């Protein structure tokens, strides 16, 4: 992980992610989130230097999701009809609200992507323990959970193979697949991981977790750079929203109800 | 009669009349156990499965009564403090624990973070931590792993890192609960060396007292024989009672038959004492002792002359043993793979895959005929499991083709295959035919694998050996012509291993073809007709057992080491390998005649 | 039989500090969050076809899956707020480890789900674990989060609002409620949760 953003304190980044997401909660116009999205995209490309392929791959589900929202709203929101074909009708209000919600989904999605691509999960948890006073047992239970998550893919694959061996054959001579098979494999995975979790908890306690008064071997830095970064981000967002309010572009939740 | 152990200083662990009950079982897990462990003492804890060894370790670490749903009466003192009045976390300051499952022993995603974690929890200043982490990793031979992520490590490496994490806090007591049970041969060697290093006073302070639960005493002893075992042994019997407590050699000699019957893997000398008690170290002339080199070259596996004579007698051709399997003549081909390339990539998918899946094995030809048992050997990671998955039709071969009916495959961890809530349903799963047919097959399998008393139990509640028997029974119920098995005796005790061998032999006798992978060369030598050796990305050898095992260069290329017994038999009694092992395996344990007290 | 020595008959410390959360309980919550999070992802991978078919309504059909962690956690640990904490941790895992595009607002949704799921169990003092309690747990969890999501995603004022609500409630009851009981009962039989509160309660009842 390289770049300006990767060097910033993870707790600060998380808090900013939260703050910006909340700030856009009450925005229901398409322009403001779209502008914020473009700003965020620029910031992430410059500050986190993600792989182009990863960036594109992250956009696919986001765009699909946003388009879906746009379409559903356009077709299902009552108001001034723009275009009609039989039972389906597209309304102006539907398009506006749909575009707004879609843009917001894009914004939050790109911010989440940016966050994950420049933040190490374990560093984040350590930082939360150091700076946000997160309970140490919760913190390291989650760190252990991160490791267990890494193991899940492999275990899931083996379980699927193992259960296919005795699965009855379907019409084409292949072992039958389907929700029942998925459920059985899912349950086997759950049993295995619950048992492993109990042993992990024993390991953690055997290592002394929970005594209180711990030191941190490699503390995550929190510097004045992080402070300025926060100011810059919050200021930028506030400015954008302020400008759009002044320009009369911004719309609040009343837009949902045709106001 | 348990021998009392004189201690000069205060014991670091003191158990007094400890009894442990669980609500689920009427019989206690431990019953009035009294024992003390001196500082720095190395102790071996033996017992039958279910005798309470893990329970005993839990009482020392505080897991009982604090974490496990069990009641403890009696007193457990660790470093003078009562465990009942303390918490697991506090006890952890003086007690280090290492379990058998590598995937839960290490909890962090970076190696150095893992080893530093206990020191952070103890409040050790950050500046001091770096040095101690380095020191602990060097002690266990894992210094080169310092910067690695834990998801990239093998089982043996994980266990060593976990051991470093246990030692970094300089505990007074080290509890090891079968630390090598789930490792391959290479991992076992590495972890044993690390444990041995941990037991030595050194730069890391005085050595901790070590309590080791280990069921493979034959491997633990290694080329040093009985001298390679910890000096003191405590033996627990059924119901959690202390049966013996004293110097290891004396306990083994006295209890060899009991241990043998209970299914413990004994070092060769002890195994021979169990089947012929007159043979013993006191009154025996000794041959030139075994050393690493001579054992490898077919030198005597043990020092004791009478033991060697007993082995010679086993090797002698006499009236054919009724249960010994003759090598079958080649029958009908049941499974054939030609020009196979095996990779680790995923299940069949119709979309185009990205180019260049990682090829583990190239150009492999395999043929399995009716009635034969074939073993696949190879170092860990060489592709044995992937090969079995490919032959079973679960993974597409990267090249080549396979012909034959759908094989059965028994997985390394039986729990992966469990699908039902009771043993009986598990066996009957997926069977074709009417309910009555199924019931008949299920009843037959339950009887044949000694599972009748467990028919209504949930499969996950079974013991390790029982789970394996169940997974084998469930697979055999499907009556497929070919049975593949991935490490079928992994982690099993001696009795269950022999039961597995018997089950596979019977399956072959009914005309099936069996192909299994294993790293237990003695088991392979006693059971298999033919050997396949994988290594270097290809099939290195495919031939009769004795011919393949006798090829030292081949074994070296493949990274395999012969146990001294097998090596000796190949040199001294060529052609009698399977017969000797079979007689040794099936010889009944004989209790020693008690010494006359004058 | 020799008498016990003077050491006190020890009791499992859970009886001495009944309200304290053990690390084992916390790790169990994390395990549930990780496993259900992973399975949800695996499910989505496997059935993108169905997702396209149902379109936007898929989220309501699958919502029950999001609710699963809470009742399962409550039934095993049997402490107040187990369900809420389970949902919040699951959301944390989704956002931080799995990089969910929904973002940290998922935590708010999760809190509401957890609260709704927790309520029926809390009202019955964490002593009743029958089908009805689970069903209500799923219903309330789905309902509470619906109103939040409706605001956030702008469903108010659309024609589909009622349909969404109905589908979501059904999913909640069936998947988030009844399926949860099936899972809990099956887990108890396997023995992996014997050392938790559920195991103690079941063995006492035996």
pLDDT value at residue C132: 94
pLDDT value at residue B357: 64
pTM of the model: 0.89
**Does the CB of A18 have a partner CB in chain C at under 8 Å?**
yes
Taking only the tens place, the pLDDT of each residue in B92-102 is: 989 999 998 99
Local structure of residue B367 (DSSP, 8 states): E
pLDDT value at residue A15: 92
Count the neighbouring beta carbons within 10 Å of the beta carbon of residue A170.
11
pLDDT > 90 fraction of chain B, expressed in percent and rounded: 40
Residues A142 and A104 both lie in one domain: no
Taking only the tens place, the pLDDT of each residue in B222-248 is: 777 788 889 999 999 888 889 899 999
Pairing of strands B209-213, B42-47: parallel
Residue-averaged pLDDT of chain B: 85
- How many domains does chain A divide into? 2
**Does the CB of A184 have a partner CB in chain B at under 8 Å?**
yes
Residue showing tokens 């991935």: B486
Q: Which residues contact B432 (CB under 8 A, 6 or more apart)?
A: A168
Domain that holds residue A112: 5-119+223-257
Nearest to B165 by CA among B129, B214, B207: B129
List of chains touching A (3+ CB pairs within 8 A): B, C
Asked whether residue B426 carries a pLDDT value surpassing 90, the answer given is yes
CATH number of the CATH domain containing B418: 3.40.50.300
Q: Residue A86 phi/psi, 5° resolution?
A: 70, -130
Domain that holds residue B361: 336-347+357-561
Q: In what order do the strands lie in the sheet with B359-369?
A: B359-369, B333-343, B399-404
- A124 located within any domain: no
Dist CA A242 CA B85 (whole Å) = 62
CATH architecture label of C21-43+58-195: Orthogonal Bundle (1.10)
Local structure of residue C178 (DSSP, 8 states): I
Residues A9 and A102 both lie in one domain: yes
- Which pLDDT band holds residue A3 (cuts at 50, 70, 90)? confident
pLDDT value at residue C15: 44
CB–CB contact B419 A147 (8 Å): no
**Residue A168: beta bridge partners?**
none
- Select the residue of C30, C99, C157 nearest A77 (Cβ to Cβ): C157
Asked whether residue B566 carries a pLDDT value surpassing 60, the answer given is yes
- Select the residue of A147, A168, A207 nearest B118 (Cβ to Cβ): A207
Residue-averaged pLDDT of chain A: 88
CB–CB contact B116 A217 (8 Å): yes
Q: Which one of C31, C41, C192 would you mutate to disrupt binding with A, by most A Cβ within 10 Å of its Cβ? A: C31
Of A52-56, B453-457, C53-57, where does mean pLDDT reach its minimum?
C53-57
Residues A29 and A157 both lie in one domain: no
Dist CA B409 CA B364 (whole Å) = 19
Q: Which one of A158, A166, A181 would you mutate to disrupt binding with B, by most B Cβ within 10 Å of its Cβ? A: A166
- Which pLDDT band holds residue B281 (cuts at 50, 70, 90)? low
pLDDT value at residue C48: 64
- A75 located within any domain: yes
DSSP for B119-172 reads HHHHT--HHHHHHHHHHHHHHTT-GGGTT-BGGG--HHHHHHHHHHHHHTT--S
Residues of A with CB below 8 A from C51's CB?
none
**Does the CB of C192 have a partner CB in chain B at under 8 Å?**
yes
Long-range pairs, B293-296, Cβ under 8 A, ≥24: B295/B223, B295/B564, B295/B567, B295/B568, B296/B561, B296/B562, B296/B564, B296/B567
Asked whether residue A76 carries a pLDDT value surpassing 90, the answer given is no
Residues of B with CB below 8 A from A166's CB?
408, 417, 419, 429-430, 474-475, 478
Taking only the tens place, the pLDDT of each residue in A187-230 is: 999 999 999 999 999 999 989 998 888 999 999 999 999 999 99
Residues A148 and A230 both lie in one domain: no
B 439-498 near A (Cβ less than 8 A): 460, 474-475, 478
Asked whether residue A167 carries a pLDDT value surpassing 80, the answer given is yes
- The more confident residue out of B266 and B326 is B266
Residues A42 and A139 both lie in one domain: no
**Does the CB of B116 have a partner CB in chain A at under 8 Å?**
yes
Residues A149 and A248 both lie in one domain: no
Residues A59 and A142 both lie in one domain: no
Residues A26 and A64 both lie in one domain: yes
Tell me the average pLDDT across B8-15: 83
pLDDT value at residue B328: 75
Residues A160 and A199 both lie in one domain: yes
- A80 located within any domain: yes
Residue A248 CB burial class (10 angstroms; 0-12, 13-18, ≥19)? exposed
- The more confident residue out of B320 and B213 is B213
Domain coordinates of chain C in residue numbers? 21-43+58-195
Structure tokens that stand for A248 in this block: 């009369």
Among A57-61, A85-89, A168-172, the range with the most confident prediction by mean pLDDT is A57-61
Asked whether residue B16 carries a pLDDT value surpassing 70, the answer given is yes
- Which pLDDT band holds residue B287 (cuts at 50, 70, 90)? very low
pLDDT value at residue B348: 42
**Does the CB of A203 have a partner CB in chain C at under 8 Å?**
no
**Does the CB of C182 have a partner CB in chain A at under 8 Å?**
no
Structure tokens that stand for C46 in this block: 């496997």
Residue B458 in contact with residue C191, Cβ under 8 Å? yes
Asked whether residue B277 carries a pLDDT value surpassing 80, the answer given is no
- How many domains does chain B divide into? 1
CB–CB contact A215 B123 (8 Å): yes
Residues A75 and A143 both lie in one domain: no
Tell me the average pLDDT across A18-38: 88
* Alpha-carbon gap: B411 to the closest alpha carbon of chain A (Å): 7
Local structure of residue B406 (DSSP, 8 states): P
* Alpha-carbon gap: B86 to the closest alpha carbon of chain A (Å): 12
Taking only the tens place, the pLDDT of each residue in A93-137 is: 888 888 888 899 899 999 999 998 899 889 999 999 999 999 999
Residue of C nearest to B70 (CA): C12
Asked whether residue B457 carries a pLDDT value surpassing 70, the answer given is yes
Taking only the tens place, the pLDDT of each residue in A100-109 is: 888 998 999 9
Calculate the CA dihedral of residues C157, C159, C162, C165 and round it to 10 degrees.
-70
A 153-172 near B (Cβ less than 8 A): 157-169
State the Cα angle at C49 between C43 and C53, rounded to 5°: 115
CB–CB contact C10 B32 (8 Å): no
Structure tokens that stand for B582 in this block: 């079979």
Residues of C with CB below 8 A from A67's CB?
none
CB–CB contact A142 C92 (8 Å): yes
List of chains touching B (3+ CB pairs within 8 A): A, C
**Does the CB of A190 have a partner CB in chain C at under 8 Å?**
yes
CA atoms lying within 13 Å on the CB side of residue B387? 35
pLDDT value at residue B598: 52
Give every residue of chain C whose pLDDT is below 50, as ranges: 1-16
Residue showing tokens 């893992």: B114
pLDDT value at residue C66: 85
pLDDT value at residue B347: 43
Taking only the tens place, the pLDDT of each residue in B319-373 is: 555 567 777 777 888 888 888 888 876 544 434 445 556 788 888 999 999 999 9
- A212 located within any domain: no
Residues of B with CB below 8 A from C200's CB?
23, 69
In our burial notation (b when 16+ CB lie closer than 10 A, e otherwise), range A230-241 reads: beebeeebeebb
Residue B596 in contact with residue B544, Cβ under 8 Å? no
A 211-240 near B (Cβ less than 8 A): 211, 213-219
pLDDT value at residue B265: 86
CB–CB contact C195 B84 (8 Å): no
Dist CA B45 CA B240 (whole Å) = 12
Asked whether residue B300 carries a pLDDT value surpassing 70, the answer given is yes
- The more confident residue out of A7 and B344 is A7
CB–CB contact B32 C2 (8 Å): yes
**Does the CB of C46 have a partner CB in chain B at under 8 Å?**
no
């Amino acid at each position: 992980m390289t770049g300006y953003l990767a060097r910033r304190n993870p707790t600060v980044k998380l808090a900013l992610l939260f703050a910006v997401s909340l700030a856009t909660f009450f925005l229901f116009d398409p322009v403001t989130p779209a502008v914020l999205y473009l700003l965020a995209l620029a910031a992430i490309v410059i500050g986190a230097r993600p792989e182009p392929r990863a960036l594109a791959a992250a956009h696919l589900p986001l765009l699909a999701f946003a388009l879906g929202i746009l379409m559903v709203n356009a077709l299902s929101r009552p108001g001034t009809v723009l275009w009609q074909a039989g039972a389906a009708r597209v309304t102006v209000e539907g398009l506006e609200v749909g575009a707004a919600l879609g843009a917001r989904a894009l914004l939050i999605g790109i911010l989440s992507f940016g966050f994950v691509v420049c933040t190490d999960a374990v560093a984040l948890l350590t930082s939360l323990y150091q700076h946000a006073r997160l309970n140490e047992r919760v913190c390291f239970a989650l760190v252990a959970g991160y490791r267990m998550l890494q193991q899940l893919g492999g275990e899931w694959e083996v379980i699927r193979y193992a259960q296919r061996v005795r699965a009855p054959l379907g019409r084409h001579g292949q072992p039958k697949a389907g929700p029942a098979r998925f459920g059985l494999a899912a349950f086997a995975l759950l049993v295995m991981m619950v048992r492993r979790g109990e042993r992990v908890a024993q390991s953690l306690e055997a290592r002394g977790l929970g005594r209180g008064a711990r030191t941190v071997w490699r503390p995550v830095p929190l510097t004045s750079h992080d402070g300025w970064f926060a100011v810059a981000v919050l200021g930028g967002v506030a400015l954008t929203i302020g400008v759009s309010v002044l320009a009369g572009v911004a719309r609040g939740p009343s837009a949902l109800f045709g106001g | 009669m348990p021998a009392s152990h004189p201690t000069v200083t205060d014991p670091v662990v003191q158990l007094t009349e400890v009894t442990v009950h669980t609500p689920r079982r009427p019989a206690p897990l431990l019953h009035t156990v009294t024992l003390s462990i001196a500082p720095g003492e190395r102790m071996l804890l033996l017992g039958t499965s279910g005798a309470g060894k893990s329970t005993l370790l839990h009482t020392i670490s505080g897991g009982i009564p604090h974490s496990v749903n069990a009641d403890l009466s009696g007193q457990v003192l660790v470093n003078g403090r009562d465990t009942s009045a303390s918490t697991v976390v506090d006890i952890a300051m003086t007690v280090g624990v290492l379990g058998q499952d590598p995937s839960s022993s290490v909890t962090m995603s970076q190696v150095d973070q893992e080893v530093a974690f206990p020191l952070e929890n103890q409040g050790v200043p950050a500046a001091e931590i770096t040095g101690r982490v380095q020191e602990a990793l060097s002690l266990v031979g894992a210094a080169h792993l310092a910067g690695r992520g834990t998801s990239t490590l093998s089982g043996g490496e994980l266990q060593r890192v976990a051991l470093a994490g246990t030692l970094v806090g300089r505990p007074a007591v080290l509890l090891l609960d079968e630390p090598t049970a789930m490792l391959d041969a290479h991992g076992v060697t590495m972890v044993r060396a690390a444990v041995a290093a941990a037991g030595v006073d050194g730069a890391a302070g005085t050595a901790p007292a070590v309590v080791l639960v280990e069921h493979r005493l034959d491997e633990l002893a290694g080329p040093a024989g009985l001298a390679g075992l910890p000096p003191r042994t405590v033996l627990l019997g059924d119901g959690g009672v202390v049966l013996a407590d004293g110097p290891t050699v004396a306990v083994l000699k006295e209890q060899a038959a009991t241990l043998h019957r209970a299914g413990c893997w004994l070092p060769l000398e002890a195994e021979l004492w169990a089947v012929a008690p007159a043979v013993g170290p006191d009154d025996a002339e000794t041959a030139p002792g075994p050393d690493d080199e001579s054992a490898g070259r077919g030198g005597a596996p043990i020092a004791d002359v009478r033991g060697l004579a007993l082995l010679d007698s086993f090797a002698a051709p006499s009236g054919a043993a009724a249960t010994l399997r003759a090598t079958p003549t080649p029958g009908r081909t049941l499974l054939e793979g030609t020009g196979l390339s095996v990779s680790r990539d995923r299940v069949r998918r119709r979309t185009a895959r990205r180019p260049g899946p990682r090829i583990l094995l190239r150009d492999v030809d395999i043929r399995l005929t009716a009635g034969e048992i074939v073993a696949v050997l190879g170092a860990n990671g060489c592709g044995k499991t992937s090969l079995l998955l490919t032959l079973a039709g679960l993974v597409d071969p990267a090249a080549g083709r396979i012909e034959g009916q759908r094989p059965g495959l028994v997985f390394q961890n039986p729990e992966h295959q469990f699908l039902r809530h009771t043993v009986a349903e598990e066996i009957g799963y997926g069977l074709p035919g009417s309910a009555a047919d199924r019931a008949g097959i299920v009843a037959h399998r339950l009887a044949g694998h000694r599972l009748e008393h467990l028919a209504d139990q949930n499969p996950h509640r079974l013991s390790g050996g029982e789970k394996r028997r169940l997974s084998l029974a469930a697979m055999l119920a499907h009556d497929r012509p070919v049975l593949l098995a991935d490490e079928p005796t992994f982690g099993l005790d001696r009795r269950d291993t022999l039961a597995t061998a018997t089950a596979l032999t019977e399956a072959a006798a009914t005309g099936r073809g069996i192909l299994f992978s294993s790293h237990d060369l003695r088991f392979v030598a006693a059971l298999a007709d033919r050997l396949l050796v994988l290594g270097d990305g290809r099939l290195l050898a495919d031939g009769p057992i004795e011919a393949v095992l006798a090829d030292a260069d081949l074994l070296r290329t493949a990274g395999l080491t012969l146990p001294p017994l097998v090596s000796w038999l190949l040199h001294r009694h060529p052609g009698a390998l399977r017969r000797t092992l079979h007689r040794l395996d099936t010889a009944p344990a004989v209790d020693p005649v008690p010494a006359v007290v004058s | 039989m020799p008498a016990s020595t003077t050491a006190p008959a020890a009791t499992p410390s859970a009886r001495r500090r009944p309200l304290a959360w053990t690390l084992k309980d916390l790790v169990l919550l994390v395990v549930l969050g990780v496993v259900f999070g992973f399975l949800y992802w695996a499910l989505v991978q496997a059935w993108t076809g169905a997702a396209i078919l149902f379109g936007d309504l898929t989220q309501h059909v699958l919502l029950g899956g999001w609710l699963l962690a809470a009742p399962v956690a409550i039934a095993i640990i049997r402490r107040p707020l187990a369900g809420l904490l389970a949902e919040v941790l699951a959301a944390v895992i989704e956002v931080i480890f799995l990089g969910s595009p929904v973002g940290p607002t998922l935590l708010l949704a999760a809190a509401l789900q957890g609260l709704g799921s927790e309520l029926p169990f809390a009202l019955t003092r964490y002593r009743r674990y029958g089908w009805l309690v689970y069903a209500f747990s799923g219903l309330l969890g789905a309902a509470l989060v619906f109103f939040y999501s409706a605001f956030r995603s702008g469903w108010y004022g659309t024609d589909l609002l009622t349909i969404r609500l109905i589908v979501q409630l059904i999913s909640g009851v069936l998947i988030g409620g009844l399926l949860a009981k099936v899972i809990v009962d099956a887990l108890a039989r396997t023995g992996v949760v014997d050392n938790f509160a559920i195991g103690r309660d079941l063995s006492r009842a035996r």
